[in-house]
Amino acid sequence: MEPVNTAVSAESDAADADSGTGEAPAAVTLGTIQLAVEELWPESLAEDWDEVGLVAGHPNAEVTRILFAVDPTTAVIEEAIDFGAELLITHHPLLLKGVTSVAANTAKGKAVHRLIESGTALMTVHTNGDSAVGGVSDVLADALGLQNVAPLTPAANGLPEEGIGRVGELDEVLTLGDFAARVFGILPSVAGGVRVSGDRDGLVRRVAVCGGAGDSLFGQVRASNADVYLTADLRHHPASEAREAAVNDRPYLIDVSHFASEWLWLPAAAEALGNVLADQGHDVEIRVSTTNSDPWDFILTPG
């Protein structure tokens, strides 16, 4: 997989803000970036079980380069270091469950040591990035051309338009096969491809989406009267039970790569953060990772 190499720079905007003053833009600290991230993706929107925010790094450290990625894997961390990024922002947490040691004899311990020793901070924007306006599912819905979009599950501590998942309508009726082809066309190429449950010639207009694993939302999907549900990591039993409970075979199901469904958000997130920092007069280069952290390498199919 070769995702688009997306880079966002606040340099020109910062230069415009300082033109005529003869003063260089003020260095931005990690703490200042934390405030900008909080403005875009408030931690209050994160699910109760989630762990988001700053994982490693000193708030007073200066930041000139930022890398956005889905996963804080070893390869991604090395990409950030090679880029010269003082900050790595990932969608998935490195430390989601409690730990009693970060000794370098484990994969996660090695990651923490590599980050600290290289002077690279790590920040997580997870379910707060899912829920916020312009978040993961919003970007997915927009890429599919959905209109009149609303959350599948409204946020308990957010605006009416914030929450997990989205549901909306296509501007025209499509067959399930054609809609699945649209899905395939917008996602980065990974080994798993796109799996579809339903009549290829069945008609769809109302679409529910959830970037990442979404098989806990079938109740909300049915209540939304969606014709098709697009999400990732659909397990056998929830998918089978959803098919058994379907009314007129709906909702149809489309299962995609967890990584691919969330990668789409990265360029939009990088641009949003770049705009906030540029408006504040900061000179920061922001890049989207080109590392494929999907865990699968190839797939065999019948025929």
pTM of the model: 0.90
In a domain? residue 299: no
Shared domain for 231 and 277, answered yes or no, is no
Tell me whether residue 293 is in a domain.
Answer: no
258 marked ligand binding residue:
yes
Distance of CA 181 to CAs 40, 72, 246, 254, Å? Answer: 32, 30, 22, 11
- The reply to whether 161 and 268 lie within a common domain is no
Residue 250 DSSP code: B
Say if residues 90 and 124 touch (Cβ distance below 8 Å).
Answer: yes
Q: Is residue 297 part of a domain?
A: no
> Residue 97 contacts by C-beta under 8 Å, 6 or more apart in sequence?
none
* Listed residues 224, 242, 261: the one ending a domain: 261
Q: What CA–CA distance (Å, rounded) separates 216 from 255?
A: 14
The reply, when asked if residue 71 is annotated as ligand binding, is no
Task: Copy the structure tokens of residue 159.
Answer: 């605006």
205, 225: one domain: yes
Residue 92 annotated as part of some ligand binding site: yes
Query: What is the spatial distance between Cα 110 and Cα 106, in angstroms, rounded to a whole number?
Result: 6
Q: Tell me if 56 is assigned to some domain.
A: yes
Examine residue 1 and state whether it is found in any structural domain, yes or no.
no
CATH number of domain containing 135: 3.40.1390.30
pLDDT of 157: 86
Same domain for 267 and 205: no
Same-domain pairing of 121 and 141: no
Q: Residue 300 falls within a domain, yes or no?
A: no
The range of the structural domain enclosing residue 148 comes to 130-261
What is the pLDDT, as a whole number, of residue 19?
A: 40
Task: Provide the residue-wise pLDDT of the chain in tens; the chain has 303 residues.
Answer: 444 445 555 544 434 444 444 455 557 999 999 999 999 999 999 999 999 999 999 999 999 999 999 999 999 999 999 999 999 999 999 998 888 889 999 999 999 999 999 999 999 999 999 999 999 999 999 999 999 999 999 998 899 999 999 999 999 999 999 999 999 999 999 998 999 999 999 999 999 999 999 999 999 999 999 999 999 999 999 999 999 999 999 999 999 999 999 999 999 999 999 999 999 999 899 999 999 999 999 999 886
Q: Is 91 annotated as a binding residue?
A: yes
> Based on the domain organization, do 169 and 103 belong to the same domain?
no
